[in-house]
Chain A
Amino acid sequence: MKYLRQALKGYGREVVLAPLFKMLEAGFDLLVPVVVAHIVNEGIGGGDRPLVLRMCAVLLGMAVVGLTCAVTAQYFSAKAAVGCASRLRERLFAHIESLGWGDADQLGASTLITRMTTDINQVQNGVNMFLRLLLRSPFVVGGAFLCALLIDRQIAWIFALAILGMALVVGVIMALTLPRYRRNQARLDKLTAATRENLSGVRVIRAFGMEARETARFEGFNRDLAQGQLGVGHLSALMGPLTLVIVNLGIIAVLQSGGQAVQGGRLLSGEVIALVNYMSQILVELVKLANLIVTLSRSIASLRRVSQVLDTQPALTYPETSPAPLPEADAVRFEGVSLRYPAGGAESLSDISFRARPGETVGIIGPTGSGKSSLVHLIPRFYEATGGQVFLQGQPVDAYAKETLRKLVGLVPQRAQLFRGTIRSNLLWGAPEADDETLWEALRAAQAEEFVRGKPGGLDEPVEQAGRNFSGGQRQRLTIARALAGHPPILILDDSASALDYLTDAQLRKALRQLSWKPTVFIVSQRTASIRHADTILVLDDGRLVGRGTHDELLQTCPIYREIHLSQSKEERA
């Protein structure tokens, strides 16, 4: 709610005026029966033709003014709703981007996307409906009751009872159906997941000949969903008929006691007509209100999901300015560093210490889940070490401003992701001001020059969303070039040559050794061949540093390294 209020700031005029004009319009609706009563009582009763004409003109005038009010209200509410959704979306996006990796991990990308799109659309809808209708319905119901009270005190109690009865029916049915609608949504999600699975796993399903069983499973979910929908459908099917009965019982009661009032001379027949009209109006508005509450409850749930993300505080903060690096210091130094992810569980890294001199190449190897990626992610402070300290160029990593860190460290992530645009626009991510020569140089080192030259557009060859018009190997080489373009003093390749064949991989490593600005390079790999020429190799196992040294040293001293190496080399079974 807090965020909604903030997003609506500046739309104060719209927020006030929209319901106000809507109420004005409703007010005219409420006046109609009064005018009709005049026509019946004085016009028809007194045979006063000019009065009838005047009253008809009043009706016409009210219709036109009513329309103006309604249009104004719709415009203001649409403006406020769209504006606040738009702001909320930008704020949420900025907030998500300000979250650290640890925070974003816990939320998950797919749910963040839903919140940015579907949920905010739902909020927009809710705000719009709220401004337009929420005040109108109670106003009409209350106003109709008030008018009835003004016409005849004694008949008004029938209205009170009817309103109470209808509110009760609508309330109970909604209380019963809302949770059921939610359960059906969950069933539909399950069915969607089953469909997706059947498609993504089609080869496995057919390889095992399990088509029939998977179909039966799907049909089971489908049956559950249909049963659930029928259940809630039957419940809500009661609402219309029950409110109809109540409102007509009310009308019968109004006619009966209205008859007595006319007999006693307390009322005229025109007023009885007005009372019957008010009763019908109340019914219409209550049903509208019920529909509105359904929409609103969905919007509120969406708003809550959006707020939950906005409530997530970034775990990391960065200083505004950066200290001057110490020229003679190690490029990277870890002192007793450990890391436990925010999601909990065991330590992913324990007590890691090592140093890398400027220009050195550091290889990192170890089994899956041993903490290789975690280790390199600590270097640009994507995660905060939970113990010990990381130093970059002699200064603690948390003393650097965010921008400095990003320029200092170039990362080639495990997953090769490109973005829609051109090859050039992607490469410029790493170096916004780079000229063509720099970009080609980066492509050359990344072993991507040849295929980029082969593209008709060259550097301006379009890149589709997520780079899907390039093969996995090409994408990897482009992401390497992207990191190289900015000439970062520290370069990290996180298992980012896995889709390259051995030949290309070897050429890439050779090119990395010959880079003009001599960066400190970290290479994470599963293959000893990729890191064997590193100045230092770090061997990780279960989050611990179990070996450190050159290839030859480790072959002598580190059994795990030896095992990994042997499993991959041709001496294996010699």
Chain B
Amino acid sequence: MSKQSKAFSLAALRPMGALLRPHRWSIALSVVCALVSSLAQLLIPIYCGEAIDAMLGAGAVDFAAVSRVAAVILLLTLICALAQWVLTVLNNRVAFRVSQSLRDQAIRKLQRLPIKWLDAHPSGDLVSRVIADVDVVSDGLLMGFTQFFTGVVTILGTLFMMARLSLPVAAVVVVLTPLSLFTAGFIARRSARWFHAQSAVRGEETAFINEMLDGQRVVQAFGREAATQAELHDVNQKLADASLKATFFSSLVNPCTRLVNNLVYAAVAGTGAFLAIAGHMSVGQVSAFLSYASQYAKPFNEISGVVTEMQNALVCAGRVFELLAVEEEAEPFPDTAGELPTEGQVRLEHISFRYVPERPLIQDFSLDVAPGQRVAIVGPTGCGKTTLINLLMRFYDVDEGQIRVDGQEIRGMSRHDLRRRWGMVLQETWLRSGTVRENIAFGKPDAPEEEIVAAAKAAHIHSFIQRLPQGYDTVIAEDGEGISQGQKQLICIARVMLCHPPMLILDEATSSIDTRTELRVQSAFAELMQGRTSFIVAHRLSTIREADVILVMRDGHVVEQGRHEELLAAGGFYAALYESQFEKSA
């Protein structure tokens, strides 16, 4: 582990402590249980030894003593079993409740993080923090509490018991202990290197497999099967090599520590026997000693495993805490309850914006949109049309200047209040797993059935939904499989239709809705846009011509602005774009 990650995992200790605080009594009780169960378990061999000492030979067995000892062993067993059970139950509760609370905190955090931050962080990484990392934390806690305490108590207790039975034999064990620790540590370090190699190659291979299976159609279309298989073979051989070493070296820990353990065992048997012959120990004590010697090394193995596990857990906890520590979006304004009467006047006053400091995008841009007007944003692919959406919705904030809705600065109201005024349909359709009904009612969960159906009808998706196996109750899978892109878009439109927002932001579909359906959707949109201020990221010039203002964007800048006829007459970039669509057709 590198120095940095070690420091990092230590930094995770403090928030971890805060997280465990509510469970402190459970943890205390679990420590007590660990003590009780380990001690009870340690006492059992002593009593077994006593019972054996009561069997001196034929005709010389003290049955009363054997029975007495048996009763004590029974009692100890019951105490030990009970303590063990309570311990496990308590630890389960702490570990699972802690991971539940971590995940709850994480999701609340995600809802409050700036979109800017989320855009800059790969979502796969965030998902793995919320899911996989938390799992490792809870595993680490579970193992830590159950095995670490009991392990330590068992080792100390064993040493104590051995010392009480016979100091010289105990000394033999203590002298041999570092050998066991050293062996385990040596092998663990060795195998860690191969594990790193293994996971690096595995990552490489997974990336390759991902890419090739995702692009399988292309692979097949170009007849590249043999070539890709040869490539896989190469990386696969590398993996097999690393994997063999990692598996083999790590599997040496157990046999090697077992060897050390067996050495200890033989030494104890030898010294014990000599002491017994000399009359310093009884046979029963030797037997007790031997069972200690056989149990003694086990906790060492476990503890070294647990320590790695807990280090892992701390690293993962650090990743989760890092997420939880990201600064949230400030929201100083309260939400307004009830209706939000909105005229729909939008003013952009000298706004400037850039995603990265080195690349200024929008500079000193002003626009005045009267209530009910339509603004079309056009331009070639990648010209930054979505930037305006980001600013209007306050997914990002302007660097300079102001945006006003009905004269009110949008940074002077809560984001919820601003966003409630807008209805948004993005080109990238997002549906969440759930029924069609839930998806349409997404923005208005308590909408009555008639309204949902009416919205679906308005979006021309009602008849399609009715043809689905379970109609409105058909479940849409996470990625919306089984529903075409166009149909998804229609559901997204119905979702907005249901909410009757006073202002609209539409990202027009390019190729995913066929033109006939789109024609109908546009007529529905035209109806929806009636009297509502609308911003449309437009791809079809024919739909733009009726816009009150056209913003022509290029490379992130607004290069032209005006009505269709004016822009055509100007003969600029817009004119060129327009002509290219109808090349030679007019």
Once the chains bind, are A96 and B216 in contact (CB under 8 Å)?
yes
Contacts of B542 in A (CB 8 A): 567-570, 572
Contact with A along B419-448 (1 / 0, CB 8 A): 110101010001011000000001101000
Once the chains bind, are B244 and A568 in contact (CB under 8 Å)?
no
Contact with B along A458-499 (1 / 0, CB 8 A): 000000011000011100000100100000000000010011
Q: Report, nearest first, the 8 A-B pairs whose CB atoms are least far apart.
A: A265-B58, A367-B514, A63-B262, A233-B92, A70-B255, A241-B81, A237-B88, A406-B223
Contacts of A32 in B (CB 8 A): 262, 265
Check A113/B229 contact, CB under 8 A, given A215-B108, A368-B513: no
**How many whole Å from B576's CB to the nearest CB in chain A?**
7
Closest to A201 in B: B430
Q: Does B123 contact A (CB under 8 A)?
A: yes
Once the chains bind, are B256 and A67 in contact (CB under 8 Å)?
yes
CA distance A247 to B312 in the complex (A): 35
Once the chains bind, are A117 and B225 in contact (CB under 8 Å)?
no
CA distance A98 to B294 in the complex (A): 55
Once the chains bind, are B265 and A188 in contact (CB under 8 Å)?
no
Contact with A along B148-178 (1 / 0, CB 8 A): 0000000000000000000000000000000
Contact with B along A505-522 (1 / 0, CB 8 A): 110000000000000000
CA distance A449 to B112 in the complex (A): 44
Q: Does A181 contact B (CB under 8 A)?
A: no
Which stretch, B18-26, B271-279, B527-535, touches the partner chain A? Answer: B271-279
Within the complex, which residue of A82, A198, A212, A244 is in contact with B77, where a contact is CB–CB below 8 Å?
A244
Once the chains bind, are B283 and A209 in contact (CB under 8 Å)?
no
Once the chains bind, are A262 and B58 in contact (CB under 8 Å)?
yes
Contacts of A369 in B (CB 8 A): 484, 486, 514
User: Which residues 238-277 of B have a CB within 8 angstroms of A?
Assistant: 239-240, 243-244, 247-248, 251-252, 254-256, 258-259, 262-263, 265-267, 269-270, 273-274, 276-277
Closest to B381 in A: A473
Name 25 interchain pairs, CB-CB below 8 A, sorted by A.
A39-B269, A49-B274, A62-B262, A66-B258, A70-B255, A71-B255, A77-B251, A82-B244, A96-B213, A195-B107, A196-B127, A197-B433, A201-B432, A222-B107, A238-B85, A248-B77, A252-B73, A256-B67, A259-B61, A369-B484, A370-B514, A500-B381, A503-B576, A526-B511, A529-B583
CA distance A79 to B115 in the complex (A): 49
Which stretch, B1-9, B202-210, B397-405, touches the partner chain A? Answer: B202-210
Once the chains bind, are B380 and A501 in contact (CB under 8 Å)?
yes
CA distance A44 to B118 in the complex (A): 74
CA distance A466 to B284 in the complex (A): 71
Closest to A343 in B: B482
CA distance A263 to B445 in the complex (A): 82
Once the chains bind, are B96 and A229 in contact (CB under 8 Å)?
yes
Within the complex, which residue of A237, A280, A473 is in contact with B382, where a contact is CB–CB below 8 Å?
A473
Within the complex, which residue of B205, B287, B393 is in contact with A273, where a contact is CB–CB below 8 Å?
B287
Contact with B along A382-399 (1 / 0, CB 8 A): 100000000000000000
Contacts of B96 in A (CB 8 A): 226, 229-230, 233
Interface centre among B127, B240, B273, B426 (most CB of A within 10 A): B273
Q: Does B290 contact A (CB under 8 A)?
A: yes
**How many whole Å from B544's CB to the nearest CB in chain A?**
11
Q: Does A301 contact B (CB under 8 A)?
A: no
Contacts of A81 in B (CB 8 A): 247
Q: Does B515 contact A (CB under 8 A)?
A: yes
**How many whole Å from A500's CB to the nearest CB in chain B?**
7
Contacts of B558 in A (CB 8 A): none
Check A203/B252 contact, CB under 8 A, given A255-B69, A429-B222: no
Contact with B along A186-206 (1 / 0, CB 8 A): 001001111111111111111
Q: Does A94 contact B (CB under 8 A)?
A: yes
CA distance A32 to B478 in the complex (A): 58
Once the chains bind, are B82 and A529 in contact (CB under 8 Å)?
no
CA distance A237 to B205 in the complex (A): 39
Check A569/B236 contact, CB under 8 A, given A66-B262, A74-B248, A219-B104: no
Q: Does A11 contact B (CB under 8 A)?
A: no
Extra pairs beyond A240-B81, A269-B52 (8, CB < 8 Å): A56-B269, A60-B263, A205-B111, A241-B80, A259-B66, A369-B514, A380-B221, A503-B576
User: Which residues 28-65 of A have a CB within 8 angstroms of B?
Assistant: 32, 36, 39-40, 43-44, 47, 49, 52-53, 55-56, 59-60, 62-64
Within the complex, which residue of A206, A226, A269 is in contact with B419, where a contact is CB–CB below 8 Å?
A206
Contacts of A237 in B (CB 8 A): 85, 88-89, 92
Once the chains bind, are A199 and B273 in contact (CB under 8 Å)?
no
Within the complex, which residue of B54, B74, B420 is in contact with A259, where a contact is CB–CB below 8 Å?
B54
Within the complex, which residue of B80, B267, B430, B582 is in contact with A569, where a contact is CB–CB below 8 Å?
B582
Which stretch, A2-10, A156-164, A322-330, A411-419, touches the partner chain B? Answer: A411-419
Q: Does A112 contact B (CB under 8 A)?
A: yes
Check A465/B259 contact, CB under 8 A, given A44-B277, A204-B424: no
Contact with A along B483-499 (1 / 0, CB 8 A): 01111000010010001
Within the complex, which residue of B209, B251, B283 is in contact with A93, where a contact is CB–CB below 8 Å?
B209
Once the chains bind, are B115 and A203 in contact (CB under 8 Å)?
yes
Once the chains bind, are B248 and A78 in contact (CB under 8 Å)?
yes
**How many whole Å from B279's CB to the nearest CB in chain A?**
10
Which stretch, B345-353, B359-367, B369-377, B516-524, touches the partner chain A? Answer: B516-524
**How many whole Å from B135's CB to the nearest CB in chain A?**
8
Once the chains bind, are B518 and A214 in contact (CB under 8 Å)?
no
User: Which residues 402-435 of A have a CB within 8 angstroms of B?
Assistant: 402-403, 406-407, 411, 413, 417, 419-420, 429-430
Q: Does B452 contact A (CB under 8 A)?
A: no
Once the chains bind, are A188 and B586 in contact (CB under 8 Å)?
no
Closest to A204 in B: B430
Which stretch, A83-91, A144-152, A290-298, A350-358, touches the partner chain B? Answer: A83-91
Once the chains bind, are A195 and B420 in contact (CB under 8 Å)?
no
Within the complex, which residue of A109, A197, A501 is in contact with B214, where a contact is CB–CB below 8 Å?
A109
Once the chains bind, are B581 and A502 in contact (CB under 8 Å)?
yes
Once the chains bind, are A78 and B517 in contact (CB under 8 Å)?
no
Contacts of B81 in A (CB 8 A): 240-242, 244-245
Check A262/B255 contact, CB under 8 A, given A93-B232, A244-B84, A419-B211: no
**How many whole Å from B20's CB to the nearest CB in chain A?**
16
Q: Does A315 contact B (CB under 8 A)?
A: no
Q: Does A258 contact B (CB under 8 A)?
A: yes
Once the chains bind, are A429 and B111 in contact (CB under 8 Å)?
no
Q: Does A537 contact B (CB under 8 A)?
A: no
Interface centre among A199, A265, A505 (most CB of B within 10 A): A199
**How many whole Å from A119's CB to the nearest CB in chain B?**
12
Contacts of A60 in B (CB 8 A): 262-263, 266
Q: Does B463 contact A (CB under 8 A)?
A: no
Contact with A along B78-117 (1 / 0, CB 8 A): 1011101100110011001101100110011011100100
Closest to A193 in B: B478
Once the chains bind, are B514 and A382 in contact (CB under 8 Å)?
no
Once the chains bind, are B73 and A248 in contact (CB under 8 Å)?
yes
Contacts of B108 in A (CB 8 A): 215
Once the chains bind, are A234 and B54 in contact (CB under 8 Å)?
no
CA distance A214 to B433 in the complex (A): 12
Q: Does A260 contact B (CB under 8 A)?
A: yes
Once the chains bind, are A244 and B80 in contact (CB under 8 Å)?
yes
CA distance A532 to B582 in the complex (A): 11
Q: Does B29 contact A (CB under 8 A)?
A: no
Once the chains bind, are A67 and B115 in contact (CB under 8 Å)?
no
Q: Does B44 contact A (CB under 8 A)?
A: yes
**How many whole Å from B475's CB to the nearest CB in chain A?**
12
CA distance A206 to B495 in the complex (A): 14
Check A567/B516 contact, CB under 8 A, given A49-B274, A97-B219: yes
**How many whole Å from B389's CB to the nearest CB in chain A?**
9
CA distance A472 to B393 in the complex (A): 25
